[in-house]
Amino acid sequence: MLRFATLALATLCSAASAQDSEIVFQRGAWLVEIVRFDDGELACSARVTEREDTFAIWVFQDGYTQLQLYSPDWQFGETSANLVVQIDRRAEWTLNNAQLTQNSVLFNLTDEDDAVDLLVEIARGNTFKVRNEQGQAVIDFTLAGSSASMQTLGDCEIALGRVGANPFTK
């Protein structure tokens, strides 16, 4: 997988359009791709889409990880909210101060240990449930195929670290 992600990154970096993406893996409802934004930034994304709603995990070249929930039914201004997520019947996770913008909820995973624990739960889980702060159900996503997709996302993150690296300093 890592070799494939590295080759896909090399191909994507040589492309000349404003925003490109290349699918590197698909399993179940999950899709993993490499994205190059118009400002040159690279990211890897693992996402599941149900109907028109999407749950995505983004890993950016500068090392931060972000969760994104998207629904065309949402119309947010620029605000924030506290969310509660739960994978299957495991303990709940509270995502404080998630950014609400347009049709998306964005949350940066800043604590590396907690981020790894949450991503492992996602990889092992069956259902990702999102609730508001009062505990009311907002949206659910399947995690079928997430284990292999999370492994590919990790491989893609490693490949991102290699892009632009000086081979003489490592």
Share of the chain above pLDDT 70, in %: 84
Beta strand 104-109 with 127-132 is unpaired
Alpha-carbon distance values, 49 to 13, 29, 73, 119 (Å): 26, 7, 14, 18
| Alpha helices, DSSP H, located in the chain | 2-14, 112-124, 146-162
pLDDT in tens, 110-156: 877 888 899 999 999 999 999 999 999 999 999 998 999 999 999 99
Domains annotated for the chain, with CATH where assigned, are 2-162 (2.60.40.1880)
